Amino acid sequence: MNFLFTLTTFVRDRKDMQTFYISKYLLDFKNIKI
């Protein structure tokens, strides 16, 4: 159960980081286009 909790937390953090990088990339792309 503790392992499962750690795994889900890791996946969630990983997903948040992925979203962060995607939004950062889109912002950079938008700034370059303008």
pLDDT score, position 1 = 62
Predicted confidence (pLDDT) per residue in 12-24, tens digit: 878 888 888 888 8
pLDDT score, position 16 = 83
Q: Which pTM was predicted?
A: 0.42
pLDDT score, position 17 = 81
Q: Tell me how far CA of residue 15 lies from CA of 6, 7, 11, 18, 21, in angstroms.
A: 14, 12, 6, 5, 10
For the chain, the domain total comes to 1
User: Is the predicted pLDDT of residue 25 greater than 70, yes or no?
Assistant: yes
For residue 17, what are the domain limits? Answer: 1-34
Largest Cα separation within the chain, whole Å, is: 50
Which of 13, 9, 32, 27 lies closest to 1 in space, CA to CA? Answer: 9
Residue 33's pLDDT band, with cuts at 50, 70 and 90, is low
